[in-house]
């Protein structure tokens, strides 16, 4: 790769880390990077469900260690930050507490 292309790639990566994540969070969840960082600090960098630290789970974040913003699909209200596994797990059960209770009952029978 040429020096110019490397500089351009570095510039775009830096721009995205400063501006792109903030715009994406604003557009998708109505929160900015500051609110995300506050939530991240309040949760000590851990998933709100499994409590694994973000550096212990792999997600598609810009740094490779990003927690997902969990939100209610009906109201849009942000609930917290989750690892990709926990976020996907509750999503596959349609964020339905009764389905989660049934899953718990099922698991405890064994």
40-44, 57-61, 63-67: range with highest mean pLDDT: 40-44
Answer for the pair 83, 43: CB distance below 8 angstroms, yes or no: no
What is the per-residue pLDDT across 13-53, written as a single tens digit (0 to 9) for each? Answer: 777 766 778 888 988 999 988 999 999 999 999 999 999 99
Answer for the pair 78, 69: CB distance below 8 angstroms, yes or no: yes
d(CA 24, CA 11): 18
pTM of the model: 0.75
**Confidence category of residue 4, pLDDT binned at 50, 70, 90:** confident
pLDDT at position 56: 81
- Which architecture, in CATH terms, is 3-109? 3-Layer(aba) Sandwich (3.40)
């Amino acid at each position: 790769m040429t020096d110019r292309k490397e500089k351009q790639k570095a510039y775009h990566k830096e721009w995205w880390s400063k501006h792109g994540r903030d715009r994406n969070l604003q557009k998708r969840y109505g929160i900015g990077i500051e609110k995300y960082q506050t939530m991240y600090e309040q949760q000590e960098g851990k998933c709100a469900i499994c409590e694994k630290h973000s550096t212990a789970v792999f997600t598609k974040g810009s740094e490779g260690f990003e927690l997902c913003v969990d939100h209610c699909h009906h109201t849009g209200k942000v609930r917290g930050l989750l690892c990709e596994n926990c976020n996907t797990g509750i999503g596959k059960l349609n964020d339905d507490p009764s389905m989660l209770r049934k899953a718990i009952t099922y698991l405890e029978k064994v």
